[in-house]
Amino acid sequence: MPAIRIALPATLRSLLARGAGSAMVSGFLLVAMLTMVGKIVSFAKDAVVAAKLGTADELDAFMLVFGFFSFACTVLAGGLPESFVPAYAELRERRGQRRADRLGVQCAAWHFAALLVCGLALSLGAPWIVAWATKGFDPAKQALSVKLLHSLLPFLLCFGLAHHLSAWLRAGKTFLLAASAPMLVPLGIVIAMLIAGDQVNAWTLVTGTVWGAVAHVAVLLIALARRLPRSARWWRCCLRHWEPGLRTVLRNALPFLLGGVAFGSAVVVDQTMAAWLTAGSVAVLSYSDKVCAIVLAVTAGPASDVLFPHFAELVARRDWAGLRKRLFASAGIIVSAALPMTLILCFMAPWIVSTLFERGAFGPQDTQRVAEVLRFAAFQIPFYILGTVAARVAVSLQASRFMLMISFSALVLNASLNWLLMRHLGAAGIALSTVIVHFLCASATCVICLIVIRRKEAS
What one-character DSSP code corresponds to residue 228? S
Cβ atoms of 389 and 304 within 8 Å: the answer is yes
pLDDT recorded at residue 215: 92
Residues 6+ apart with CB under 8 A from 369: 280, 284, 427
Instruction: Report how far residue 215's alpha carbon sits from residue 206's, in angstroms, rounded to the nearest whole number.
Output: 14
Instruction: Report how far residue 133's alpha carbon sits from residue 333's, in angstroms, rounded to the nearest whole number.
Output: 40
pLDDT recorded at residue 17: 47
Query: 419, 422, 442: which is closest to 373 by C-alpha?
Result: 422
pLDDT recorded at residue 220: 92
pLDDT recorded at residue 105: 85
Residue 109: exposed, middle, or buried by beta-carbon count in 10 A (0-12, 13-18, 19+)? middle
Classify 180 as helix, strand or coil: helix
pLDDT recorded at residue 74: 66
pLDDT recorded at residue 5: 43
Angle at 249 between CA 247 and CA 250, to 5 degrees: 65
Cα–Cα distances in angstroms (integers) from residue 269 to residues 140, 303, 318, 427, in the given order: 22, 26, 39, 12
What one-character DSSP code corresponds to residue 6? -
Cβ atoms within 10 Å, residue 420: 13
Per-run averaged pLDDT (10 residues), the chain, 459 residues: 44 46 63 75 76 70 76 66 78 81 86 85 80 71 80 85 86 78 86 82 85 91 85 80 79 71 73 79 83 78 77 82 82 77 86 81 82 89 86 78 80 88 86 90 88 84
Alpha-helical runs (H) found in 275-380: 281-297, 300-316, 320-347, 349-357, 364-377
Cα–Cα distances in angstroms (integers) from residue 146 to residues 55, 63, 140, 149, 150, in the given order: 19, 12, 10, 5, 7
Instruction: Report how far residue 147's alpha carbon sits from residue 208's, in angstroms, rounded to the nearest whole number.
Output: 16
Instruction: Give me the amino acid identity at 405.
Output: M
What one-character DSSP code corresponds to residue 278? S
Cα–Cα distances in angstroms (integers) from residue 110 to residues 204, 226, 246, 318, in the given order: 32, 21, 10, 29
pLDDT recorded at residue 211: 92
Instruction: Report how far residue 297's alpha carbon sits from residue 176's, in angstroms, rounded to the nearest whole number.
Output: 15
Cβ atoms within 10 Å, residue 85: 22
Residues 6+ apart with CB under 8 A from 86: 312, 315, 316, 395, 396, 398
Cβ atoms within 10 Å, residue 27: 24
pLDDT recorded at residue 20: 39
Cβ atoms within 10 Å, residue 60: 28
Cβ atoms within 10 Å, residue 405: 15
Instruction: Report how far residue 133's alpha carbon sits from residue 141's, in angstroms, rounded to the nearest whole number.
Output: 12
Q: Is the pTM of this model over 0.95?
A: no
Cβ atoms of 171 and 81 within 8 Å: the answer is no
The CA dihedral of 109, 112, 113, 116, to the nearest 10 degrees, is -160
Instruction: Give me the amino acid identity at 397.
Output: L
Cβ atoms within 10 Å, residue 295: 23
